[in-house]
Every structure is written in structure tokens, then in C-alpha cells.
Amino acid sequence: MKFVDQVLIEARSGDGGRGCVSFRREKFIPKGGPDGGDGGRGGDIYFVVDSSLTTLLDFRYQRHHRAKNGAPGLGKNMHGKSGDDLYLHVPPGTLVYDDESGEKLLDLTESEQQVLFLKGGQGGRGNARFATSTNRAPRHAQPGIPGEVRQLRLELKLLADVGLIGLPNAGKSTLISVISAAKPKIADYPFTTLTPNLGVVDLGDRTMVVADIPGLIEGASEGQGLGTRFLRHVERTDLFLHLVDLSTLQQGDPLENFALINQELERYDTGLARKPQLVVFNKIDIPEVRQQAEELKPEFEAMGHEVFLVSAVSREGVKELVRAAAARLTEWREQ
């Protein structure tokens, strides 16, 4: 399924139906009086959080969303039928903005959450409503009130407990495929992951959602590489697993690469730099990588980081990493 995390749409609630101008016409009942009914109410628009969705793809192909109009009133004091409400299903983590002002209108995070967003127009009153002792044959009725219309920008920020970050080809996709049921694309070239992947890690008594974020490079906070498009998806995570690649596929000094990623996080949002991180040396199934990891581990620990040596391929150290991540997550949330 194609991943879409930002779309523009138009939402319009239903118009109220017009009131009816009608007079009672029956044999042997002269001057029966007005009997025009009211118009029906226009349909409302609701946003519904659907946990089975992970993308805004459906909105890419249908950008105009309109609830049904109310039916007009009828004679014999019959009111028009109310318009059907429209329910817009979105994935958890969807933000709704007014596209013209940029104002944030909704932050939809809770599963099965349902929010009334636009109210339908009220139906117009029929002429029967205007009969008085001095005006027994009113010949006017009200038009229905138009519905509301908004130009909206929907933006998805994935809801995950843990975010996997690092340079391209650091092994994030392989790791998430090992610790969860996620099946991301895996290959030995940079930017294999072009869209975020979510995986659910079973901890026995609970679960932990992990997001594999496409690789970051220098200048990502300014739009370089895959840029800020996917940096937004780490905003809601509470813990980072920072994968440091020591293999020959990665160029540059590991300490400098580590600092580079953290600089990009801070430039994008200073709050991201304050979130806890676990440093992960991946690919230790390669002998030279293991040796280098053991040499670098004290340097990272001296900087105050907790370091883990793992191999997503052989699964060495993976269980210990998952347990530590769950413990750190609990500790962070209890602060």
C-alpha cells in the first residue's frame, strides 16, 4: 500500500432543506390554512479514528467530501428528511489543519475516537410555522441554512513508542523485521526505506510500537535527502534507538555520524534532542565490526549513553536490547 502522510481536502456539511409553502386543499374544507412542512437538517461531518488505517491514501484520490443535503419540506405538514451524516475515517495520529490560516483544529490520537467537525445547516421553516391570528395565510417559507465548508490539510504523524534512527543503511529495517512482524524492504544500498514502517513488539504482558524512520543525512532538517517529510514521524516517540553502522558501507567517523544525526534532530525540534536514546552497534556478526564496536563502546558510555551490541541477522543481543528499551520507556513515562 502506498504511504501518504499529507493531503489537502475540502469538507462541506449538508445544506438544510427549504421549507414548503402549501395550503390544505380538501373537499368540504374551505380555507384549510397553511400546511407547509419544515425542511430537513443537513448532514454533519465527523472524523473517526480507525486503528486499521496507517495512511491517508484514500483522501489522495477523493479530495471533495460532502454530507447529504436535507430534503425540502412537503405539504400536509410533512417535514423533509434529514441529510445523512458523513464519517471520514483517518489513522491514529492524524492532525487536521485549516489550510488557509494554518490553525490546528484537531489532533486525533485515540482509537475509535469520533469528533463532530462540521454541523449541517438547519432546515427552513414551512409556511405553517408563520400562521398567526392576523396572518392566517402566509405565503412564504424559509430557505435552508447552508452547511459549513472548510479547506483542510490532513497530516499524519505516526504514533509509536520507539523510533529507530540513524544514517541510511544502518540496519534499521532488518532490526524491526526481527523484533516485530513488520516486513519492510531490505537491501544493501542507501535509502532502501522510503516510507516509515510500524512494527508491534510483543513483550508478553504488553506491546511496544516501533517505527522505522527512513535514513537521515546531513541537512535533513532543511529538506536534504528525504528531508523533513519523515522527521515529523519521530515527534511523538518517547525513546530513540540510535543505530550506528560500523561496517564498510558507512563512510565517516562513527562519533561524527552519531553527532550529525542528533544535530539534525535538534535543528528540526529542540525537544527531540532531549528524548532518551539507546545507542545500538549493529552488524556485530561481522568480526571487524564487533572489534570496532568493543573499542568504541567506552567512548559512547563516557558520553553518558547506554550502548548495546547486536546483530539483527544472528539475533545476538536483540532480546537484551528490547528488554532495555521497554524498561527505559517505562522509566521515562513515569518521570
Considering the domain architecture, whether residues 133 and 148 belong to the same structural domain is answered as yes
Treating both helix axes as pointing N-terminal to C-terminal, what angle do 254-268 and 287-302 enclose, rounded to 10 degrees?
60
Identify whether the C-beta of residue 61 lies closer than 8 Å to the C-beta of residue 71.
Answer: no
From CA 102, how far away is CA 153, in angstroms rounded?
8
Specify the number of domains making up the chain: 2
Considering the domain architecture, whether residues 324 and 241 belong to the same structural domain is answered as yes
Considering the domain architecture, whether residues 63 and 140 belong to the same structural domain is answered as yes
Q: Which domain holds residue 96?
A: 1-156
For the question of whether the overall pTM of this predicted structure is more than 0.95, the answer is no
Q: What is the CA radius of gyration of the chain?
A: 29
Considering the domain architecture, whether residues 2 and 149 belong to the same structural domain is answered as yes
Considering the domain architecture, whether residues 201 and 61 belong to the same structural domain is answered as no
**Any idea what the CATH number is for the domain that residue 258 is in?**
3.40.50.300
Q: Single out the residue in 133, 156, 179 at which a domain terminates.
A: 156
Considering the domain architecture, whether residues 71 and 191 belong to the same structural domain is answered as no
From CA 166, how far away is CA 170, in angstroms rounded?
6
Considering the domain architecture, whether residues 248 and 197 belong to the same structural domain is answered as yes
Considering the domain architecture, whether residues 179 and 277 belong to the same structural domain is answered as yes
Considering the domain architecture, whether residues 2 and 80 belong to the same structural domain is answered as yes
Considering the domain architecture, whether residues 137 and 187 belong to the same structural domain is answered as no
**Any idea what the CATH number is for the domain that residue 130 is in?**
2.70.210.12
Considering the domain architecture, whether residues 191 and 264 belong to the same structural domain is answered as yes
Considering the domain architecture, whether residues 152 and 172 belong to the same structural domain is answered as no
Q: Single out the residue in 106, 141, 156 at which a domain terminates.
A: 156
Identify whether the C-beta of residue 15 lies closer than 8 Å to the C-beta of residue 146.
Answer: yes
**Per-residue pLDDT tens digits of the chain, which is 335 residues long:** 456 778 999 999 999 999 999 999 888 777 788 999 999 999 999 999 998 888 888 898 899 999 999 999 999 999 999 999 999 999 998 999 999 999 999 999 998 899 999 999 999 999 999 999 899 999 999 999 999 999 999 998 877 889 888 887 778 888 888 888 655 444 443 434 446 777 888 887 788 888 887 755 444 444 443 445 567 777 888 899 999 888 755 567 888 888 888 888 888 888 888 889 999 998 899 899 899 999 999 999 999 999 999 998 899 999 999 999 999 988 887 87
Backbone angles phi and psi of 176, in degrees to 5: -65, -30
From CA 302, how far away is CA 328, in angstroms rounded?
19
Q: Single out the residue in 156, 182, 204 at which a domain terminates.
A: 156
